Structure formats: C-alpha cells, structure tokens
Amino acid sequence: MPPRMAMISQVDSEGPLARRLWNKCRRQSILSIYTPFCVSLAAGNLNIDTFRNYIHQDVHFLKAFARAYDLAAECADDDDAKLSINELRKEVVAELKMHDLFVKEWDPEVGKEYPVSPATVKYTDFLLATASGKIEGAKGLGNIETPFEKTKVAAYTLGAMTPCMRLYAYIATEFKGILRGDLSDHLYKKWIENYSSKGFQEAAEKMEDVLEKLCATLTGEELGIIEKLYHQAMKLELEFFCSQPVKQKTVVPLIKDHNPAEERLMLFSDYDLTCTVVDSSAILAEIAIVRAPKPDQIQPEDQIPRMSSTDLRNTWGAISRQYTEEYEECIDRIMPSSTVEFKYEDLCTALEQLSDFEKRANNRVIESGVLKGLNFEDIRRAGEHLIIQDGCFNFFGSISKKENVNVGIHILSYCWCGDLIRSSFNSGGLLPVVSIHANEIVFEEAVSTGDLVKKVESPIDKVKAFKKILDSSSSDKKNFSIYVGDSVGDLLCLLEADVGIVIGSSSSLRRLATRFGVSFVPLFPNVVKKQKGLTEETRRNWKGLSGVLYTVNTWAEIHALVLGC
C-alpha cells in the first residue's frame, strides 16, 4: 500500500573515529555475542572446562597485547600519547593478574598447559605483525625509523587493538543488562563484573581517545588502513569466540538441532521494510510519475491512455493520504479498549476487518489508474537497484548454500508487483532458491494495464498462504518455521510460526498486538533465558501460537540465531 516511512539506521559520518569504526563492525559484535560460548557464559551454565580453556587462551592473547603496547609506545612521538599507552599497558598487566585469580579459582590443575588454539595464534600474529610495521597495503613504511613513520605504526597498532577492548566491554555490559545486575549466584560473576566495570569501560574509552589523537594527522588513505585493521581485528575476535570448544548442548545456532532426514526448515519473510529500506509501492508510484507524459505532451493513439505526471502525482498523494487516515482509523476501531488475554481466534476476527479495508484500498488504486502504463523494463531495473536491509540477502544466500540443511525460503508480500521482488532477489543471485508470493501487475506487451492479479492483499491472505505452503511441503518431514516481519499485516504469520521475529519498530503493530495480549521480547535475552533452562533431554523449546514474538534490530541477529558465525 502507499508508503510507510522507513526507519533507516545509518552510520554517522561525524563523531569520534572509534565510534564510527565500531558502528561499521556491528555485524561482528552481534555474531560474537550470539556464539554458543557467549550465550552459555551469559546463562551461567558454560561448561567449566570450556571456561578454563578460554582463560588460558586469553592469557596468551593478553601477553601479545602487552607486547604490542610496548611497541606502540616506542613508536609514539607525542609524550602524552606515549604516557597514555603505557597506562593502558598497566591495565593489561592488571588483567593478567586477574586471570591468575581466575585460574586459581576455576582450575584445580594450576600449571596445566593448554595448547594455544589456531584462532588465538591468528589474532596474536596479526597484532604483533601490525605493531612491527608489517601492514598490508601501508605505503611508505620501509623506513620506520623516522618519527612520522613511527607515529603511523603506533596509530595502526592501536587500530588493531581498540576493537578488542570495546568488544569485551560491550559483551559484558550486555550480559549484566539482561541479568538485571543480579549476579549473586552466577558462576562467572567475576568475569562479567570485571569487563562491565566502570574502570574497564574507562580504559576502553581512553584507548579510543589515544587512537583519535594518533590519527589526527593521517591522510584519508591511511585512515582507510586503520579501518581495514579495525575490521580485521573484529573478524579475528569473532573467530576467537567461535573457536571456543563448547561441547555442551546449546540453543544456538538453531541449525545445530537440524536433521534434514526428519525436518524441513521453513523460512518466511515479508518484503517491504523487512527486506527493503523503502516501501515498494512508493517505488512503483515514482516510476509511474517519472515516466508519465507531461501535461502538454500528446500521447500516441496506440498506447494505453495515461494521466499526466502532474495529475498522477496529485492522485497518488490523495490516495496515500486517504490510506494512511483510514488505516489508523481501522486500527483504532478493531483495538480492544484495554489489554485482553491472548486468544489467537479473537485476533483473527479483528484482522478480518483490516483485511476488508486493505482490499478496498487496492481496488481504489486499480480504479484510479495510477499503475497504468508502467513499463516492465523500468520495474525490472528498479528492482535491481532497490536498497536492501543490511545482512538480509547475505542470510538467505548463506542458508541456501549450507550443506545438510533441508530448507525452503518463501517471501510473502502485499507488494503490487511480484516482478519487482523477483528482480530484486535475482540481482542478489537468490531467485532460484527463493519463492515469491505476491500480487502481480497485468502487462500487455510489457506495459501495465493498471490492473492487478490479487494474490496476497491482507493479513488473512498472508496467513492462508503461510499455512498452505507448510501443508504442501514434504509430508514425511516435520516443519520448523521461522517468520520475519515488521507490520500488522505479518502479525498472524508471526504468531503461527515456531519462531516469529519482528524487525524494526512499527508502532501500530506493537500497539494493536499488545492490546490483544501479545508479548514482544528482545531476542538475545530470551536466547540466554532458554539456554539457562536447557537440559540434555530437551530439544528446541520454540513453539508457535505462544503469544510471544521476538524483536531484533538487524538481520545479523537473525543470521546469528539460525546459522551462527
């Protein structure tokens, strides 16, 4: 329908360098926190042997960190920067002493040697190579004896170290937040308290401040190297957490429990503002307006008669305003006066009214003629260039290529033009593995007649299509369904799915669903909660029609939940 305003999250071009770099590596931080190791650590039931191994790996890592600080301090030509780096080195020495306490408390075999893992070696080698001036892509470092070149090496070294400090502070703070500060009986209380402490947060900020000062005189090309080093460090940190040998049962990733011989993983997603950044109806309207004849332009007799661009823009504006006003009125009308107990049937009855409204609105669009004369090639090209939510296509592509995963991927959309969606997914190399279920514009010789083949117009249509797809999938296998959506139109499918995930922050969805007794819970805290209650006997404890929906801000969380890192 007419455009809903997309909430577009963009990395600020202003602000401190470290904050900008951290924001660009958001994906790695999310994948890290969802690793089996971190989820089990947060839940407090991480196997003690796994934690001991981690502590010993971390000791090797911190020794390399201390050496990198030494090399960076030698290279810094500013006395203040040199002093700050030495102060940060003292923090590492203190952290190593803390690790000695960890070893004594959790490891009865003090002195036992643990082999250094390949992931630990990769990070320490990368860090020490950077601190020694061996930096891929860095020009002019053949002679690092000059003060100017040495300062650049100090900056590069801090660029490779800073993300580690920030990531640890982030992870521990997230843990403390979801545990609501109640760490009294948490097995790993000291670890969480240390890395979420004010002192550690301040050390991370101090490191970022030093990086900012060291980078003040760098060129754009040199700042690009800093960004590459920062990103590489984040990837190595993620690999470090992924490599921890977690042998216990975990709730993540979901495919760990997947048996392709017995189960089919069914992935469903809405399209507009779930996969995309803007609503497709706005794109189609813009194509129509741009390609419409000018008021004084004579139209050929053999073409479908079209409104002028001015009339079309005015008509579209009026349709959009009417839709928005009547949509809100409909939501208010079907909403209970107070919050009621969750009953799926009652919600279905209420949404039948919304479904009737959506169908009337589509008829109004057809009768107005705003879709007449659209050229198929224009639509195809627009689909190829649609801006997709970060990580969306990556997720679908990754799971479609995963070996030993029996998966079906389906897009259920109100979009007027299935060809637009197909073009979009085709540009991402995903069309052969993704099934599109949407309305279709009627074309005659590649030009739209303005009519629609109506397939998915409403919440009721969506949930009927959802059930039909599940019913028609392999009868000899059990379905495990995941639905991702962002609006009221997705509500019934979200609730029917074994895992219903809401992306974004639609106020009308939350307002209506909450009144009908639906709960919205952030995904990560719930994953930790499920990990706490996990036993060796239980399999997945996700189920549909529970009245609980899980909220995320990015597709990276969905990727982390289903596929892991």
Reported as a single tens digit per residue, the pLDDT across 424-442 is 999 999 998 999 999 999 9
Which one from 25, 75, 164, 415 is the annotated catalytic residue? Answer: 164
Cα 213 from Cα 194, distance rounded (Å):
27
Rounded mean pLDDT, 265-287: 96
* Residue 257 covered by a domain: no
Burial of 208: CB neighbours in 10 Å, binned 0-12, 13-18, 19+: buried
Q: Indicate if the alpha-carbon torsion angle 200, 201, 202, 208 is positive or negative.
A: positive
Instruction: Express as a percent the part of the chain with pLDDT over 70.
Output: 90
* Residue 4 covered by a domain: no
95 versus 333: which is more confidently predicted? 333
Query: Please, which pLDDT band fits residue 303 given cuts at 50, 70 and 90?
Result: low
**Residue reference for tokens 């009337």:** 360
Q: Answer yes or no: do 237 and 270 share one domain.
A: no
Q: Answer yes or no: do 229 and 275 share one domain.
A: no
Integer distance in angstroms from the first to the last C-alpha of the chain?
36
pLDDT at site 7 = 29
164 classed as catalytic: yes
- Number of domains the chain is built from: 2
Cα 94 from Cα 221, distance rounded (Å):
36
pLDDT at site 3 = 36
Record the pTM: 0.92
* Residue 255 covered by a domain: no
* Residue 251 covered by a domain: no
Q: Answer yes or no: do 211 and 345 share one domain.
A: no
Average model confidence (pLDDT) across the chain: 90
Is the distance from CB of 460 to CB of 383 less than 8 angstroms? Answer: no
Name the nearest CA neighbour of 371 among 276, 307, 293, 458. Answer: 307
pLDDT at site 59 = 87
Q: Answer yes or no: do 233 and 300 share one domain.
A: no
Is the distance from CB of 465 to CB of 412 less than 8 angstroms? Answer: yes
Q: Over 50: is that where the pLDDT of 446 sits?
A: yes
Q: Over 90: is that where the pLDDT of 181 sits?
A: no
What residues contact residue 340 under an 8 Å CB cut-off, 6+ apart? 346, 515, 516, 517
104 versus 526: which is more confidently predicted? 526
pLDDT at site 14 = 65
Q: Answer yes or no: do 470 and 535 share one domain.
A: yes
Cα 142 from Cα 57, distance rounded (Å):
33
Rounded mean pLDDT, 82-99: 81
251 versus 473: which is more confidently predicted? 251
Is the distance from CB of 420 to CB of 280 less than 8 angstroms? Answer: yes
**Residue reference for tokens 């001015």:** 310
Cα 486 from Cα 462, distance rounded (Å):
13
- What's 86-113 look like in SS3? HHHHHHHHHHHHHHHHHHHHHCCCCCCC
Q: How far lies 189's CA from each of 192, 194, 197, 295, 539, in Å?
A: 5, 8, 12, 72, 28
Q: Three-state SS for 184?
A: coil
Kindly report, residue by residue over 218-260, the tens digit of the pLDDT. Answer: 999 999 999 999 999 999 999 999 999 998 999 999 999 899 9
Range of the domain at 199: 12-243
Q: Over 50: is that where the pLDDT of 4 sits?
A: no
pLDDT at site 374 = 93
Name the nearest CA neighbour of 130 among 153, 164, 162, 163. Answer: 153
358 classed as catalytic: no
Cα 542 from Cα 530, distance rounded (Å):
9
pLDDT at site 145 = 58
Query: Please, which pLDDT band fits residue 416 given cuts at 50, 70 and 90?
Result: very high
pLDDT at site 304 = 65
Rounded mean pLDDT, 148-165: 91
Which strands sit side by side in the sheet containing 372-375, from one edge to the other? 372-375, 447-453, 440-444
Residue at which a domain ends, from 215, 243, 271: 243
Cα 427 from Cα 504, distance rounded (Å):
24
Q: Answer yes or no: do 238 and 324 share one domain.
A: no
* Residue 7 covered by a domain: no
Domain at 546, CATH number: 3.40.50.1000
Q: Over 50: is that where the pLDDT of 417 sits?
A: yes
Query: Please, which pLDDT band fits residue 8 given cuts at 50, 70 and 90?
Result: very low
Q: What angle do CA 98, 104, 106 make, to 5 degrees?
A: 100
* Residue 208 covered by a domain: yes
pLDDT at site 112 = 65
Q: Three-state SS for 548?
A: strand
Tell me whether the omega of the peptide bond preceding residue 245 falls within 30 degrees of 0, making it cis: no
Secondary structure (DSSP) of 116-181: PPHHHHHHHHHHHHHHTT--TT--S-S-TTSHHHHHHHHHHHHHHHHHHHHHHHHHHHHHHHHTTT
Cα 521 from Cα 184, distance rounded (Å):
24
Domain at 232, CATH number: 1.20.910.10
pLDDT at site 93 = 80
Which one from 91, 222, 237, 263 is the annotated catalytic residue? Answer: 237
Q: Answer yes or no: do 156 and 282 share one domain.
A: no
Rounded mean pLDDT, 482-496: 98
Q: Over 50: is that where the pLDDT of 343 sits?
A: yes
The single-letter code of the amino acid at 480 is: F
Residue at which a domain ends, from 243, 276, 301: 243
Rounded mean pLDDT, 12-31: 89
Name the nearest CA neighbour of 136 among 166, 107, 115, 156. Answer: 156
Q: Answer yes or no: do 268 and 342 share one domain.
A: yes
pLDDT at site 11 = 35
Q: Over 90: is that where the pLDDT of 293 sits?
A: no
What residues contact residue 511 under an 8 Å CB cut-off, 6+ apart? 331, 335
Query: Please, which pLDDT band fits residue 9 given cuts at 50, 70 and 90?
Result: very low
**Residue reference for tokens 């004594």:** 104
Query: Please, which pLDDT band fits residue 84 given cuts at 50, 70 and 90?
Result: confident
* Residue 5 covered by a domain: no
Q: Answer yes or no: do 203 and 306 share one domain.
A: no
Instruction: Express as a percent the part of the chain with pLDDT over 90.
Output: 74
Kindly report, residue by residue over 182-194, the tens digit of the pLDDT. Answer: 788 999 998 999 8
Name the nearest CA neighbour of 269 among 544, 489, 482. Answer: 482
Q: Answer yes or no: do 434 and 541 share one domain.
A: yes
Q: Answer yes or no: do 302 and 165 share one domain.
A: no
* Residue 2 covered by a domain: no
Residue 304 token pair:
């479908």
Name the nearest CA neighbour of 296 among 315, 305, 286, 309. Answer: 309
Query: Please, which pLDDT band fits residue 141 given cuts at 50, 70 and 90?
Result: low
Q: Answer yes or no: do 174 and 276 share one domain.
A: no
Cα 363 from Cα 346, distance rounded (Å):
27
pLDDT at site 296 = 65
Name the nearest CA neighbour of 522 among 537, 535, 510. Answer: 510
Rounded mean pLDDT, 510-518: 97
